[in-house]
Structure 1
């Protein structure tokens, strides 16, 4: 059975048993506690946690997943992968253990036709019920049921969230694969293929049980790759139809045949596996970077390039390519099941090509540094030499080597890595990442929001139809819990059963405005969706007192909302136009929509020229002036995708979505607010285009009144420049350019004259210098010189004196500060006389410090009036240092 049939057999089985089928969600999860989608249940987590009401009690899905905790094992074992596909069936408070066990057995034996005599089962050590159900609902004997501890048979995401005991199905592949005795003895012979989790507990970050979930749930996962191993009769995942074509392509590119050499096979596996993962990550909007998901992707791609090097490929200089043709093979092979790969072909191939070219060049330089460090470590004579953590950090910071790649290279050379030293150097960056990952919503626990949701229900958003509404004050939320009343000055979060306030989402900022009750008034400063379906109004009581249950009049700030709507519609127009000018790869990768301004991030591999930006800006405004109709409609997610609506990377969509169409050129899934027609946007002007990271650009623009104000100021500046240079406005640029050319020529001539004068002055000072016991100590003051000229004067005096000379020159700046330079002749420097210690006491006199090393140093301080005193101190230090060197 091929992999496509395995997937369809699973989904069809559970659809027949009353489950709604769901397509795979993105590898970029909505859950902020995890970096990537690591399990099939993750898109359903709000339903398991009771944070949202599931639209169906039963679901089945195929889900692409990515995990890198075992990345070092990829290629070395027969089944470790960073990307895999999980087939799952789920119950949200509907069926529980009995049905899950019965159906898992029926699917395995009757539909996949696995030999029932070779199936083994494990259950959690305390789960008597699961064992009894296996015996009652299936034909498996007690002898093939084993109890294991929490490490094997208790499942959770290893982050705060749901969990519970599980039972797993294994298949005995025969004595050729290992020892008899069941999965408790040998999990290579007995291959796990299906995991049934009985989701019933809520856990904290450490895995401690906090309590029961609102309902008893079922979460299962059947690994497509592992089932392919069993049903295709092969030894490992790399021999299945999912990987065999990729291994063949990697072999063609590297001139290596799979199966001929064990070490080369490892590299071919790594290349094939990492290329597959990389293609899927890029397709879902992940781009190479130094942090987060981007770091994971870059690590995978660079690890693949490294293994290409090990196979003898010269990537980056000779024109040889590896990643680019490999991801093209992934797209060809997987696009029938994942059409997004084809839609994102341009993005995937351009990112892969750019990254391998960049790292191919870097890796040669980095490997030279690695070889130096290895040679140095071995020369110490230690029995267990270590690769320096400082060098590992340098490789990471300068050459882009992921630390794990450095560790692998060091291990291949027989060295351990001083990870402690590396970790210390990376500590600050890691703390920033952790702080960002744990950033919460005002410090209010999720449980408090759930309590508010249980009390009020989900919030009905009315803001598409108007900016005011009447409601009842449903809940007053604080970090300390729910309140019945709040008084003037209190900062709280208000929950209403319905609201016209838009909660921040899709890049659009939350609304602000007023909430008024018969006894008080609140100023709303922000609106957020605290948990799925629950909108909270962050507010301050500015008058009187408010109480739970009171009638509320909600008023959104109208001018701010309209200005924000202009920016959001402008973002859609900009998005469509950028893709037309730069290519389909320039998909939205992040946005910020504010009143009168917008920020738009997109993948691209070079800066956008001024001329091209002008063309884009002109096209945007031309489209807006045509006054295209802005149409919104609600439809199913499947219908929206079929209609050609664009789903933006990382945005959250349910099964029912809102589609915003602008004219004939833009159609996007979007829950934000918009103007009714294009002309309402007004003017759009691009004010900035810049890089915000590897392969990612950012455009900032202004809209409406803000754009007009910006352009008005720009016009006034242009007119003033034209007045100053005494030409009409349309000739100002040419005239300013000519003046600048003249200024540069004059500055060049002036520098030439200044240099000649400095040389002449240096010769004069050197000629007048006297020596005591052969030592020349020159101390002089040269006010009015810039730092570079001061440095040049000191070094030229030293060059004229040649031997046994110390020169200290100083200047007082117009700001009242002091600067000093010390230069030491080569012979004194060789004898141990250093410039910085000579200047250090002088720097303290002027209230500053000294820097530099060897024969040249500089110092500065705020007390320029003490420069003469400092110069004398430096002279004394120079004589003492020279005397000590004899």
Structure 2
């Protein structure tokens, strides 16, 4: 077999299917799924192509191939512990969307393996679904594979399916890596998951059925092909390596980790685990950040944060003192730039975001370790071995200290954590989050067979009212003949003027009206090509009949103003900032527009004003707004900006605002830029690391904001007892007056503090050669208290100070001990004991500690106890 590097295998595969087999070569889709709420991250080669398999989207060519970057999070805890598991990998795949089927898929797979990769055909084994005689016959009669090397397995092994939807049998291809890899003498054919001898390298899925809710398998009129071959895995086979961490590209990454840690891979198993974790996680981190994922505490952002923190923790275990991921990521970028040139373009942003998160976690680790160590000490002091889940969850939720790190450190101390209690608290938090994320409609479309409806004719670009036929009525569970007055439901029609939520633009609202019925439309969604109206009947009973669909005109106009202004803003940002600014999200509703974009620093007031001025200039220029349907290639020629997936559409909709802005967009827009009226940025902020956010108003909202500000200025002027034009002069006068009064107050406070200090200095007692000062105060701040302690320590040697102050009904104790006495006395123990007398608690270091108290009536008793302790 050929000894190819991983980059060479990728190129060989894409050239084979792209050039020789006429497939469209797809660049790897980003790791963030597009319009797919079922996935957190792209985890398989076919995942970004679901809508092409279902027919919702069409590609120029009905066959495609790709090397898709993927992240799988289910085994994060096992990464490093074994030599097989990884979070990041690439999946080679060739796909047919109703074009070729089993014969071509099998023949081409065999050709690529035996001819292009020169794998000995006698090393190949395959498995097929036990009822798939067609696949068996192709392998046996046409390919010529011996029958003993064609294994028949049941559904569990060789049938790909979900609860409902497209499914079908599959055929897996294995390579025999040699008898020396066998577990025992019985390890002589594929089927043992623990064996390293027979390596599954390719899975050919024949999607030929649609499984419905009744578990019936309906043959598809145009069956599909979906194949997947792990790039790292096939490279491992070709290079004769034992695991994915030893293939060529990983070796350079591991070498970098060795240099940083002064540890050698394969010399110590514990170190090997950490090296594997860093090598794997750093690759996942690099591509996730490059694709626009940012560290956060939810969804994919949390996956990224967890990977960064886990990698950093294992760096510390290897003895790496400072931040180090930057060096590893630079090596990864250099290794993968051959295929992924965007890593070079995004390099500065990747390094900036990861370094900042690494720096923040360094602080988290230090503070979290202090708290966890106190928990560990408490467990050991009380002869307990299990940390309660609430404490672990507090570490995670409040301090960002990951559970896996808590578990690792506990295990190092022969302790464990109550995982069940932690999971209950985590599930409770997730449930709160799920509730918060529910849509306004609160309804699911899962019970509706959308495939039974034809594409909805959307006429809403040009008409805000249209006569249409209602062809479907539903509640949450079933098909209805009518929806009663006062009830909510779902309406499907043959045509509509209502825009369904999409592309950052919110859905229209309005009414569906017949002669004797009126229903309020409060949400509109789109599934496949069918537009779904969420309604509440407010008059009569709504049935399947002809009705007028009337969009709220004023609201739509406000939305279109904001949407067109978003396009103007996008171009103005590029012009003013003079950098590679890319859209990172948007929201357009009737009240305002929100636009997220990649940029590394906050905008200055001058930049914001320039952007605002440029947008308003284009509004005043009365630029015509054109909406055109054209081939994608033509949109590229005129420089239209589009999303990644638009690259594979035959026809696209281009919205042009004069010659100033050209973007691919399916949303609703004004006909002339002057209709936006006016544009005002109301806030510029950070949306996440490396992402800035602008929120802005247009039209009547700017007018309302102006009136509101005028009202506020008049009220402020009244309170300042001046007129609006003299407000600033009046404020300057008041500031000078306040400054003068503060200086007087500070002077009086210094005189008072000096009197208090002289008084307490006279209260120092000498007990057996130790100077002791015990005193209580009323309503004194901690800064003054600490100042007294420092001054007293300068005046007295061998000094113990115990102060108590009562503020707002609460007691604060402090204890401070000279360094000469810390071997005999412990400030933490002193405040812990005396605070408990007042129903409080606290602690600290040997030379200084602080505690709280509750019962003021026992304060004197607590302070008297100090003498007994000393």
TM range (shorter): 0.7 to 0.9
Aligned to 1:170: 174
Q: Would you say 1:634 and 2:629 are equivalent positions? A: yes
User: Using the alignment, how far apart are the partners of 1:411 and 1:155 within structure 2?
Assistant: 39
Aligned to 1:621: 616
Task: Please point out which of 531, 534, 540 is paired with 1:538.
Answer: 534
**Aligned partner of residue 253 in structure 2, secondary structure:** helix
**Aligned partner of residue 225 in structure 2, secondary structure:** strand
Question: Counterparts in 2 of 1:445-484, with a 5 A limit?
Answer: 445-450=445-450, 453-454=451-452, 456-484=453-481
Cα distance change, pair 59–604 in 1 and its aligned pair in 2 (3 A): closer
Task: Please point out which of 672, 686, 694 is paired with 2:681.
Answer: 686
User: Using the alignment, how far apart are the partners of 2:414 and 2:438 within structure 1?
Assistant: 38
User: Using the alignment, how far apart are the partners of 2:252 and 2:805 within structure 1?
Assistant: 71
Cα distance change, pair 309–537 in 1 and its aligned pair in 2 (3 A): same
Q: Structure 1 stretch 280-289 or stretch 182-191: which is displaced more?
A: 182-191
What does the per-residue CA deviation read over 1:47-89, in whole Å, with 9 as the maximum and x for residues that have no partner?
5557677876544333221112122333444443212222223
Question: Counterparts in 2 of 1:344-493, with a 5 A limit?
Answer: 344-367=346-369, 369=371, 385-386=385-386, 389-390=389-390, 392-411=392-411, 415-435=415-435, 442-450=442-450, 453-454=451-452, 456-493=453-490
* Structure 1 residue 616, shift from structure 2 partner: 3.8
TM-score relative to the length of structure 2: 0.79
Aligned to 1:337: 339
Q: Structure 1 stretch 560-569 or stretch 122-131: which is displaced more?
A: 122-131
Q: Structure 1 stretch 118-127 or stretch 687-696: which is displaced more?
A: 687-696
**Aligned partner of residue 113 in structure 1, secondary structure:** coil
User: Using the alignment, how far apart are the partners of 2:219 and 2:498 within structure 1?
Assistant: 29
User: Using the alignment, how far apart are the partners of 1:676 and 1:184 within structure 2?
Assistant: 64
Question: Counterparts in 2 of 1:447-596, with a 5 A limit?
Answer: 447-450=447-450, 453-454=451-452, 456-517=453-514, 520-529=517-526, 531-548=527-544, 550-578=545-573, 584=579, 587-596=582-591
Question: Counterparts in 2 of 1:271-350, with a 5 A limit?
Answer: 271-316=278-323, 322-350=324-352
Task: Please point out which of 73, 79, 86 is paired with 1:81.
Answer: 86
* Structure 1 residue 542, shift from structure 2 partner: 3.9
Contact 2:84 2:243 in 1 (8 A): yes
* Structure 1 residue 14, shift from structure 2 partner: 4.4
Contact 1:460 1:499 in 2 (8 A): yes
**Aligned partner of residue 448 in structure 1, secondary structure:** coil
* Structure 1 residue 424, shift from structure 2 partner: 3.8
* Structure 1 residue 193, shift from structure 2 partner: 0.9
What does the per-residue CA deviation read over 1:297-345, in whole Å, with 9 as the maximum and x for residues that have no partner?
11112222223333333224xxxxx333433343344344334334433
Cα distance change, pair 760–211 in 1 and its aligned pair in 2 (3 A): farther
**Aligned partner of residue 563 in structure 1, secondary structure:** helix
User: Using the alignment, how far apart are the partners of 2:45 and 2:15 within structure 1?
Assistant: 17
Aligned to 2:823: none
* Structure 1 residue 220, shift from structure 2 partner: 1.7
Aligned to 1:803: none
Aligned to 1:61: 66
What does the per-residue CA deviation read over 1:675-722, in whole Å, with 9 as the maximum and x for residues that have no partner?
234333222222233445555544322111111221232234335545
* Structure 1 residue 495, shift from structure 2 partner: 1.9
* Structure 1 residue 429, shift from structure 2 partner: 2.0
Aligned to 1:717: 712
* Structure 1 residue 593, shift from structure 2 partner: 0.8
Cα distance change, pair 649–50 in 1 and its aligned pair in 2 (3 A): closer
User: Using the alignment, how far apart are the partners of 1:824 and 1:337 within structure 2?
Assistant: 63
Contact 1:681 1:703 in 2 (8 A): yes
TM-score relative to the length of structure 1: 0.78
Q: Structure 1 stretch 438-447 or stretch 328-337: which is displaced more?
A: 438-447
Aligned to 2:150: 145
Task: Please point out which of 3, 6, 10 is paired with 2:9.
Answer: 6
* Structure 1 residue 503, shift from structure 2 partner: 0.8
What does the per-residue CA deviation read over 1:416-467, in whole Å, with 9 as the maximum and x for residues that have no partner?
44423432443322323455688696433424142xx42x311232233333
User: Using the alignment, how far apart are the partners of 1:220 and 1:153 within structure 2?
Assistant: 13
User: Using the alignment, how far apart are the partners of 2:269 and 2:839 within structure 1?
Assistant: 59
Cα distance change, pair 449–160 in 1 and its aligned pair in 2 (3 A): closer
**Aligned partner of residue 448 in structure 2, secondary structure:** helix
Contact 2:813 2:853 in 1 (8 A): no
Q: Would you say 1:26 and 2:25 are equivalent positions? A: no
* Structure 1 residue 555, shift from structure 2 partner: 2.9
* Structure 1 residue 538, shift from structure 2 partner: 2.1
* Structure 1 residue 394, shift from structure 2 partner: 4.5
Aligned to 2:203: 195
Cα distance change, pair 744–610 in 1 and its aligned pair in 2 (3 A): farther
Question: Counterparts in 2 of 1:735-750, with a 5 A limit?
Answer: 735-743=730-738, 745-746=740-741, 749=744
* Structure 1 residue 508, shift from structure 2 partner: 0.9
Contact 1:146 1:184 in 2 (8 A): no
Cα distance change, pair 172–645 in 1 and its aligned pair in 2 (3 A): farther
Contact 2:24 2:64 in 1 (8 A): yes
Question: Counterparts in 2 of 1:729-878, with a 5 A limit?
Answer: 732-743=727-738, 745-746=740-741, 749=744
- Name structure 2 gaps, 5 residues minimum: 760-777, 789-802, 816-828, 841-848
Q: Would you say 1:229 and 2:236 are equivalent positions? A: yes
User: Using the alignment, how far apart are the partners of 1:193 and 1:521 within structure 2?
Assistant: 60
User: Using the alignment, how far apart are the partners of 2:77 and 2:122 within structure 1?
Assistant: 35
What does the per-residue CA deviation read over 1:817-847, in whole Å, with 9 as the maximum and x for residues that have no partner?
xx85679999999887867679xxxxxxxxx
**Aligned partner of residue 222 in structure 1, secondary structure:** strand
Equivalent residue pairs, number: 812
Cα distance change, pair 627–333 in 1 and its aligned pair in 2 (3 A): farther
Cα distance change, pair 434–50 in 1 and its aligned pair in 2 (3 A): farther
User: Using the alignment, how far apart are the partners of 1:486 and 1:420 within structure 2?
Assistant: 45
**Aligned partner of residue 195 in structure 1, secondary structure:** strand
Contact 1:194 1:220 in 2 (8 A): yes
What does the per-residue CA deviation read over 1:643-700, in whole Å, with 9 as the maximum and x for residues that have no partner?
6544459999855433334456644332212223433322222223344555554432
Q: Would you say 1:100 and 2:100 are equivalent positions? A: no
Contact 1:264 1:311 in 2 (8 A): yes
What does the per-residue CA deviation read over 1:13-37, in whole Å, with 9 as the maximum and x for residues that have no partner?
4455565544432211132122111
Contact 1:444 1:478 in 2 (8 A): no
Over the aligned positions, Cα root-mean-square deviation in angstroms equals 4.9
User: Using the alignment, how far apart are the partners of 1:416 and 1:164 within structure 2?
Assistant: 44
User: Using the alignment, how far apart are the partners of 1:644 and 1:327 within structure 2?
Assistant: 33
User: Using the alignment, how far apart are the partners of 1:581 and 1:423 within structure 2?
Assistant: 49
**Aligned partner of residue 74 in structure 2, secondary structure:** coil
User: Using the alignment, how far apart are the partners of 2:830 and 2:116 within structure 1?
Assistant: 88
**Aligned partner of residue 85 in structure 1, secondary structure:** strand
Aligned to 2:594: 599
**Aligned partner of residue 73 in structure 2, secondary structure:** coil
User: Using the alignment, how far apart are the partners of 2:143 and 2:719 within structure 1?
Assistant: 92
Aligned to 1:246: 253
User: Using the alignment, how far apart are the partners of 1:209 and 1:251 within structure 2?
Assistant: 56
User: Using the alignment, how far apart are the partners of 1:307 and 1:335 within structure 2?
Assistant: 26
Contact 2:70 2:90 in 1 (8 A): yes
